[in-house]
Structure formats: C-alpha cells, structure tokens
Structure 1
Amino acid sequence: MNGDQFAEMAYLAILGGAVLIWYITRHRLSLGKVAQQALAWVLIFVAVIAAVGVWDDIRATITPQQSVHTDNNLIIVPRARDGHYYLTLMINNQPVQFLVDTGASQMVLNKADANKVGLNADDMIFSSVAYTANGTVATAPVRLSSVELGPYKDDRVSAWVNGGELDQSLLGMSYLQRWSSIEIRDGSLVLTR
C-alpha cells in the first residue's frame, strides 16, 4: 500500500467514524433498536454474499436439461442461457457434453474429452487440418466405438480430435445427419429419428 492509498483509507476511516459517532449520539435513547437494525442489515449482506457464491449450483439445479421422448422418437434439447444448445452423449460409455454446431461439418472432441473416452490424445498424430472461424487447426481422425443419445446407439462413428485449444467439444453435421429431422421449435432443438 503506497502513501496515497494509506491517506485515502485513513480519510475514509475518519469519515466513517464521524458518521458512526453522529448516528449513535442522535439515536442514543434507542440503541437496542439500532443494534437490531444493524444486525439485520449485516445478515442480509451475508445472505446476498452466500447466494452469489452458490448461484452457479442453484442455476445448474433449476436449468432444464435435455429430455428423451421415446414414444415419438424425439430428443428435445432446451436452449441454454447463452443461446446455444448442448447435448450430453455417451461416448464409449462416458458422458461427454457437446455444443451443437450446425456450422461444423464433423463431430470434434477436444483433447480432454478424447482422453476421457479412452483415446490418448498425446499419442495421436495430428496430420489433418481443419479450417475454423478462428483459423486453421491440426486434427486427428478417430473412430468412436459407440455413441449413445437416449435409446439411440450408433457404432463405429467417425470423429476428429482437435489438436488446438478447444474449450467445448462440437457436435457437427456428420452426427446430426443421422437424424431424420432437426428443427428448432418453441426455443428447443428437436431431433427426430
């Protein structure tokens, strides 16, 4: 802390002390009530801080998730708060969350998800190149033993592993074309098989 910051802190402390002394002298006959009100405000402040701290957990609990309707051969995916659609598929018996990307021609796994499903990304040869909105990136072709979405299972599915920095695995058209219908209806992505 430099000298200016120390002086500012001292000024604020003196000003706060003066306001506190004025408030106590002004309300000296009802200090019990003042203490109750101060405690109430402190508890409200602590509650707000706690709510902000656990907001992501609360939001994850109340956010609608993808649902499967087998009677109509439908998979219904609600739009996320960020405006995108996310699907969780079982890849080689491991859950992997994908961003649905109709602009991507292939199913693309990031390195972390590739490792999660039993593919060793460190041993792959990234010999292919993909042209993305962020430039070119090296990719490695892979074959996934099984891809499951609800009751629907596909075996030996072609995919690519991204050799660059990719935060979210992408579900592109190579997988989406396996469905007879893809539509957006009432804010949800509806896949029909």
Structure 2
Amino acid sequence: MGEDWAQLIYYGLLLIFIGGALLFELSGRGSQGLRQIMLWGVIFAGATFAANLWLDRGTQQVISGGRVEIPVSRDNHFYLTAELNGTPVRFVVDTGATSIALGAEDARRIGIDPEDLAYIGTARTANGTVRTANVTIEEFAIGDIVDRNVPATVIGGELDGSLLGMSYLRRFARVSFEGDLMVLER
C-alpha cells in the first residue's frame, strides 16, 4: 500500500511540474534560455512517465484454465494476487519460503485475528527468528483455481506483506520460468 501512495504522489508532482512548465512556456514569461530549460524538463519528465508506464510489469497476472503467468516486476520479484476467503491478498512468490506466510495485516483482512493466535512455532527469516502460528485458510483462489482448507502460518513479528511459499507451489504440476514470466500449471 505504501508503494501505491508513493507512486500517486510522484505522478501528482510530475503533473504539477509539467502543467506549471507548460503554463510558463505559454505565458511567454522569462528569458529564452529559461524557457528552453523548462521545455527540456518537460521532455525529460514525459519520458520518465512513459518509461515508468512501460516498465510497470509484475502487477498483472494472466490466468487461463490451470495456467498462471506472472511477469517479473521492476524489483525482480514475482507478485501474485490471490483471493483468500474472498479478499484479495498480494503475495511475493518466494521459492525459499517453506509455507504460506501471512503478515498480521493480511491475516486480519481475511478474517483471522492475529491477537487470538497461539504463536508456538518459529521460523528463520532474513530478519532473524520470528514466532509463527498455524492457521487454515478456508478458501484460496487464483482465478478459477480454488483450493480449500489450505494450511498457512501467521508471522508474529513484522512482515511487510505475505509470502507464497513452497507448500502451496507444490500443488502445481509445473513451476517454471519462461523468460521474464513465472509459470504455474495444474
């Protein structure tokens, strides 16, 4: 969610800059040199905007029958959005994670109260050892692929987002890479 706000602020400031530069140019104020600098600024800002739109991959996944295609994102991760108990949850697909790991916020959004869980397990993460609680997701859907009673863990520490690990990826007959796509097939 923080990345969405940052992009919104960025595009808002870019729009203000371009609009201001165009008004400055059309009003004819300022020296020729200053107007040229503003014009090049607008060209650079427009090119940056176009490049960001063109490079903004990784947010769309293609689902066809039992095949899911996930494009690599700009940060070189693969993100998949699934519906858990009817609520969209964005995952980082993590082949290094053992299971589905839900952050407290995502757990809360799908109807699991993290405060009521027994954190009796542990997991080692890049940030150290964290406490975990086992849960069951009633319905896990990626398009028309629907699984019921899917085991997962809720992380007791700070986890920004959720991870889709091997316990779920093993449900697919094939997990492969085709260029910049991760392909999951049932």
| Alignment TM class, shorter chain as reference | 0.7 to 0.9
Q: How many angstroms apart in 2 are the aligned matches of 1:145 and 1:137?
A: 24
Structure 1 residue 124: deviation in Å? 2.0
Tell me the TM-score normalised to structure 2 length: 0.74
Q: How many angstroms apart in 1 are the aligned matches of 2:95 and 2:74?
A: 19
Which residue of 63, 70, 87 corresponds with 1:68?
63
Identify the residue that residue 109 of structure 2 maps to in structure 1.
116
Matched-pair identity in %: 38
Determine if the alignment matches structure 1 residue 182 to structure 2 residue 175: yes
Determine if the alignment matches structure 1 residue 151 to structure 2 residue 147: no
Determine if the alignment matches structure 1 residue 100 to structure 2 residue 93: yes
Give the unaligned 5+ runs of structure 1.
Answer: 1-31
Q: How many angstroms apart in 1 are the aligned matches of 2:111 and 2:36?
A: 54
Give the unaligned 5+ runs of structure 2.
Answer: 1-27
Cα distance 1:131–1:59, how it changes in 2: closer, same or farther (>3 A)?
Answer: same
State the secondary structure of the residue aligned to 1:179: coil
Identify the residue that residue 80 of structure 2 maps to in structure 1.
87
Which residue of 31, 34, 44 corresponds with 1:35?
31
State the secondary structure of the residue aligned to 1:122: helix
Determine if the alignment matches structure 1 residue 167 to structure 2 residue 155: no
Identify the residue that residue 133 of structure 2 maps to in structure 1.
140
Q: How many angstroms apart in 1 are the aligned matches of 2:84 and 2:61?
A: 16
Q: How many angstroms apart in 2 are the aligned matches of 1:118 and 1:60?
A: 36
Identify the residue that residue 13 of structure 1 maps to in structure 2.
none
Aligned amino acid, residue 38 of structure 1 = L
Cα distance 1:62–1:79, how it changes in 2: closer, same or farther (>3 A)?
Answer: closer
Higher helix share: 1
Cα distance 1:140–1:60, how it changes in 2: closer, same or farther (>3 A)?
Answer: farther
Q: How many angstroms apart in 2 are the aligned matches of 1:178 and 1:164?
A: 27
